[in-house]
Amino acid sequence: MNLLTARQRERILERLRRGDSLRKIESETGHRRETVARVGRLAGLIPCEHPPLDPAERRMATSRCEPFRAFIENAVQHGASARTIHRWLVESYGYDGAYNSVKRFIRTLRPRATADGTVLAFAQARRRRKLEGTALCVAA
């Protein structure tokens, strides 16, 4: 484990109290600057540049796909792939976001797999609907 012993921690704190730089402490002790800074912040010797935000103050990031939610949900229900949906968004709506954004957004829409394989059954049914009317589909 990457845990500092009490002696190592005290050695770092002693050097911080003396006013040694983080780089100097890193070279003398062999501990990374980030570790030295974390120990110093926890001890109150180094001020925290960015205090942690309260959960109430955090702003949830909205996806660039959010304005197109209804279109994307409809396309997913009809079995369209993420790549196809991205292409449609670019061509029809002037969407300038990345394909990966669309892919992540679609992942949030799809239900998670359950222990009994419910989602797998939906995927199989969708695949069967796509194949209906082709030579690949054999009626069961």
Amino acid at the residue 107: R
> Cβ neighbours of residue 79 under 8 Å, at least 6 residues apart?
126, 129, 130
Dmax (CA) for the chain in angstroms is: 82
C-alpha span between 93 and 69 (Å, rounded): 13
- What tokens does 24 get? 């100097």
Q: What's the whole-model pTM score?
A: 0.42
- Tens of pLDDT, residue by residue over 35-63, are 999 999 989 898 877 666 666 655 666 88
